[in-house]
């Protein structure tokens, strides 16, 4: 026998754990300690039926905790205190004696914690946890109905199995309805609760400024920056363009937003199309594949230097399609003023200036000759690509070129740009990402923050901006920098990442525009069907899938018929066929029916069936076989 109260006691702890798990890492340390202790102590209290907190004490503790965190709430800090309040109130409730309304409070607070997790993270784990929580809460409500009727109720094995079927049938229907409404309910252009989290970060890990020497070391960040659905390319050709930095303020490179009258013109390269799915919301720049020409799926503004900006900032990740020319080049404007691309601060070290001047001592006049000379200088300098033990004192560029000779992309690109400008070559830096991990299962690239990169563009003799990546001249480029940009994941990690990728597409970036897109596709398909343009092989699967889906829903909702009921119904049909249907009422008993038709087989059927029915037991295999044999004989005798 299984007690309903025991099931409820165990279920509340499972539901509480499911609700708090997705927000665990975002809670304050005291809350992270108190909640698991409350789970353990509360379970012990339920088992011993002894509670340390009375109802009055629990109320006072709850009020105190609420006041402590409520005082921390303001316009800029709402989510974290609210989540901590909810979890702490849940912990207090777990430590007290529980009756009907207390169970409801636990279910409500657990759902609040899970729903609140979407304000801090939209991880794939939310989906299975939500499914389990819905099953748990629905099952708890069913159990609570039985418990309210009889607190001492205990179920036998048969009753427990029936209860389990009911507990899983209700949440299954609820989840199907949730999926259905997810696709059809209209969406707003901005999240309803976005005002609760105004300090959400934009493009994590991407810097809009470059300043070599700002840090003595950098750590590898495995956070996903974006994913790009595209065919597989050479990883070393994958330069993801985000912004252009063309102005120096001291040792810092910034974007000057130089005025332009024309749109960028891309020459050369291979036309490609990629769909970008950023991992986080963005306020300014679109991520594009170099060299970009146009974007679809989002409103944007385009600058002459190939930088695409959102028309307005987005509050959540939004996918868009970029049309580019892989390895193409931007043609400069005819009336381009080169002065801004030659600007240098006064803080450049004399040694760096002198080195640049010495390289063109032979009075090289052609741009290409000057560029090649500086490339050779970087190849011969013995520079090492490194992310730690970097000099930050004095002039970081001077130290990088002539002393430590250690640095990462910001050092390489900034040093080359300064030297190029020193010898009269218009130069700018481009910030973005390099490479990415291609997922063969999903057909897309995953680009992480560790792929953040800076390279150089110079204006050559053909009035074209030419890409130069000075990081390739590091003596260890093939073993560190290039290896980082072309790393491949094992199959199981590709599968896990593909699941996360489709979760992002199907749920996180599913917005009003996607809904309209699906509606338009459905409308176009319906028109084609009406015109008879769909072939049988295109329509065939739907004629199979739809009936199977209807049948599955019918079987799921239909109450199962027991074997005993099937046998009795078959006996009634045969009996009515044997006699005139009007002579046997529908509500007549089994023994009365046997007397009316007068058949020895019917009497034997009633004896066996009644022997099980009136003793409150189910028929065994031998009895079921015998009853079917009797029914078969009665049927043959009638025919």
Other CB atoms within 10 Å distance of the CB of residue 497 = 19
Other CB atoms within 10 Å distance of the CB of residue 313 = 11
What span, in angstroms and rounded, lies between the C-alpha atoms of 279 and 497?
A: 13
Q: What is the pLDDT of residue 600?
A: 81
| Residues 399-430 as b or e (16 or more Cβ within 10 Å = b) | bbbeebbbbbbbbbbbbbbbbbbbbebbbbbb
Quick one: average pLDDT of 177-188?
62
pLDDT of 241-255, one tens digit each? 999 999 988 888 999
- Secondary structure (DSSP) of 15-74: HHHHHHGGGGGGS-HHHHHHHHHHHHHHHHHHHHT--SS-HHHHHHHHHHHHHHHHTT-B
pLDDT of 34 strictly over 80: yes
314: left (phi over 0), alpha (psi -120 to 50) or beta: beta
Task: Say whether 142 sits in a helix, a strand or coil.
Answer: helix
Tell me: cis bond preceding 155? Omega within 30 of 0 counts: no
Quick one: average pLDDT of 305-332?
85
What span, in angstroms and rounded, lies between the C-alpha atoms of 106 and 108?
A: 5
Length of the chain (residues): 639
- Top mean-pLDDT range of 48-57, 365-374, 487-496: 48-57
What span, in angstroms and rounded, lies between the C-alpha atoms of 531 and 541?
A: 19
Other CB atoms within 10 Å distance of the CB of residue 534 = 14
pLDDT of 462 strictly over 50: yes
Q: What is the pLDDT of residue 499?
A: 72
Of 135 and 502, more confident: 135
pLDDT-derived band at 181, boundaries 50, 70, 90: low
pLDDT of 219 strictly over 60: no
**What is the number of H-type helices and E-type strands within the chain?**
19, 21
Quick one: average pLDDT of 12-28?
89
How would you classify the pairing of strands 406-407 and 384-385?
A: parallel
pLDDT of 323 strictly over 90: yes
Q: What is the pLDDT of residue 564?
A: 77
Q: Return the sign of the alpha-carbon dihedral for residues 432, 321, 306, 204.
A: negative
Q: What is the pLDDT of residue 195?
A: 45
What span, in angstroms and rounded, lies between the C-alpha atoms of 154 and 161?
A: 13
Q: What is the pLDDT of residue 179?
A: 67
pLDDT of 130 strictly over 70: yes
Q: Compute the half-sphere exposure of residue 472: CA atoms within 13 Å on the CB side of its CA.
A: 10
Q: Compute the half-sphere exposure of residue 227: CA atoms within 13 Å on the CB side of its CA.
A: 23
Quick one: average pLDDT of 545-566?
65
pLDDT of 541 strictly over 70: no
pLDDT of 43-102, one tens digit each? 899 888 888 888 889 889 999 988 988 888 876 678 888 889 999 999 999 999 888 888
Task: Say whether 254 sits in a helix, a strand or coil.
Answer: strand
pLDDT-derived band at 365, boundaries 50, 70, 90: low
Q: What is the pLDDT of residue 454?
A: 92
pLDDT-derived band at 363, boundaries 50, 70, 90: low
Quick one: average pLDDT of 126-154?
82
| Sequence-separated (6 or more) residues with CB below 8 Å from residue 119 | 79, 83, 193, 196, 197
State the alpha helices, DSSP H only, in 150-253: 157-184
pLDDT of 198 strictly over 50: no
Q: Return the sign of the alpha-carbon dihedral for residues 292, 295, 298, 304.
A: positive
| Sequence-separated (6 or more) residues with CB below 8 Å from residue 596 | 575, 579, 583, 584, 588
240: left (phi over 0), alpha (psi -120 to 50) or beta: beta
Q: What is the pLDDT of residue 271?
A: 93
What span, in angstroms and rounded, lies between the C-alpha atoms of 420 and 466?
A: 13
Q: What is the pLDDT of residue 242?
A: 93
Least confident interval from 17-26, 453-462, 560-569: 560-569
Least confident interval from 49-63, 208-222, 458-472, 549-563: 549-563
Of 558 and 282, more confident: 282
* Whether pTM exceeds 0.75: no
pLDDT of 490 strictly over 50: yes
CB of 44 closer than 8 Å to CB of 101: no
pLDDT-derived band at 38, boundaries 50, 70, 90: very high
Q: What is the pLDDT of residue 315?
A: 63
What span, in angstroms and rounded, lies between the C-alpha atoms of 112 and 120?
A: 13
What span, in angstroms and rounded, lies between the C-alpha atoms of 300 and 286?
A: 8
Task: Say whether 465 sits in a helix, a strand or coil.
Answer: strand
Q: Which two tokens stand for residue 573?
A: 């049909």
Q: Whole-number mean pLDDT of the chain? A: 79
pLDDT of 174 strictly over 70: no
pLDDT-derived band at 192, boundaries 50, 70, 90: very low
Q: What is the pLDDT of residue 513?
A: 62
pLDDT-derived band at 204, boundaries 50, 70, 90: very low
pLDDT-derived band at 189, boundaries 50, 70, 90: very low
Q: Which two tokens stand for residue 104?
A: 């409801």
CB under 8 A, 24+ apart: contacts of 570-573: 570/631, 571/602, 571/605, 571/609, 571/631, 571/634
Q: What is the pLDDT of residue 458?
A: 94
Other CB atoms within 10 Å distance of the CB of residue 221 = 14
pLDDT of 595-626, one tens digit each? 777 778 888 888 888 877 766 677 888 888 88
What span, in angstroms and rounded, lies between the C-alpha atoms of 138 and 144?
A: 10
Quick one: average pLDDT of 449-471?
91
């Amino acid at each position: 026998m299984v007690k309903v109260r025991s099931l409820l006691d165990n279920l509340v702890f499972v539901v509480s754990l499911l609700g708090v798990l997705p927000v665990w890492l975002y809670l304050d340390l005291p809350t992270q300690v108190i909640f698991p202790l409350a789970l353990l102590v509360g379970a012990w209290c339920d088992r011993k039926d002894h509670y340390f907190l009375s109802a009055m004490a629990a109320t006072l503790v709850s009020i105190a905790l609420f006041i402590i965190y409520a005082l921390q709430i303001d316009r800029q800090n709402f989510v974290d205190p609210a989540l901590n309040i909810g979890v702490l109130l849940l912990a207090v409730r777990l430590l007290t004696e529980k009756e009907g309304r207390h169970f409801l409070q636990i279910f409500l607070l657990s759902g609040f914690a899970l729903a609140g997790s979407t304000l801090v993270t939209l991880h794939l784990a939310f989906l299975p946890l939500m499914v389990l929580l819905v099953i748990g809460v629905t099952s708890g409500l069913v159990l609570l109905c039985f418990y309210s009727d009889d607190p001492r109720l205990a179920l036998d094995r048969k009753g427990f199995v029936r209860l389990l079927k009911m507990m899983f049938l209700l949440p299954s229907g609820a989840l199907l309805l949730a999926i259905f409404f997810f696709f059809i309910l209209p969406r707003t252009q901005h999240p309803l609760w976005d005002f609760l989290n105004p300090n959400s970060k934009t493009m994590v890990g991407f810097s809009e400024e470059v300043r070599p020497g700002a840090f003595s070391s950098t750590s590898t960040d495995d956070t996903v920056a974006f994913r790009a659905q595209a065919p597989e390319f050479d990883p070393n050709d994958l330069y993801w363009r985000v912004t252009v930095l063309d102005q120096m303020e001291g040792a810092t490179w910034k974007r000057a937003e130089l005025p332009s009258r024309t749109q960028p013109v891309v020459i050369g390269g291979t036309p490609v199309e990629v769909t970008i799915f950023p991992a986080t919301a963005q306020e300014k720049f679109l991520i594009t594949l170099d060299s970009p020409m146009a974007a679809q799926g989002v409103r944007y503004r385009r600058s002459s230097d190939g930088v695409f900006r959102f028309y307005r900032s987005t509050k959540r990740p939004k996918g868009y399609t970029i049309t580019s020319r892989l390895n193409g080049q931007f043609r400069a404007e005819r009336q381009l003023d080169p002065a801004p691309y030659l600007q240098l601060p006064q803080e450049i070290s004399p040694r760096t200036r002198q080195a640049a001047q010495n390289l063109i001592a032979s009075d090289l006049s052609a741009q290409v000759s000057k560029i090649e000379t500086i490339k050779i200088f970087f190849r011969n300098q013995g520079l090492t690509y490194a992310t730690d033990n970097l000099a930050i004192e004095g002039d970081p560029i001077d130290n990088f070129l002539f002393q430590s000779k250690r640095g990462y992309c910001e050092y390489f690109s900034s040093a080359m740009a300064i030297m190029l400008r020193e010898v009269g070559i218009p130069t700018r830096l481009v910030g973005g990402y390099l490479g990415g991990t291609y997922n063969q299962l999903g057909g897309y690239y995953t680009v992480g923050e560790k792929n953040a990169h800076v390279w150089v563009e110079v204006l050559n003799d053909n009035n074209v901006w030419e890409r130069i990546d000075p990081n390739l001249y590091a003596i260890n480029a093939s073993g560190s920098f290039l290896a980082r940009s072309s790393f491949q994941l094992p199959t199981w990690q590709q599968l896990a990442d593909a699941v996360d990728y489709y979760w992002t597409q199907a749920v996180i970036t599913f917005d009003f525009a996607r809904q309209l897109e699906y509606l338009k596709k459905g409308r176009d398909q319906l028109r084609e069907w009406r015109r008879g343009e769909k072939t049988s092989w295109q329509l065939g699967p739907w004629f199979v899938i739809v009936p199977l889906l209807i049948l599955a829903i019918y079987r799921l909702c239909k109450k199962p018929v027991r074997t005993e009921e099937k046998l009795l119904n078959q006996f009634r049909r045969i009996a009515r066929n044997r006699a005139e249907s009007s002579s046997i009422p529908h509500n007549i008993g089994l023994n009365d029916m046997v007397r009316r038709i007068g058949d020895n087989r019917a009497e034997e059927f009633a004896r066996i069936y009644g022997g099980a029915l009136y003793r409150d037991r189910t028929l065994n295999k031998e009895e079921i076989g015998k009853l079917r044999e009797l029914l078969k004989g009665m049927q043959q005798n009638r025919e």
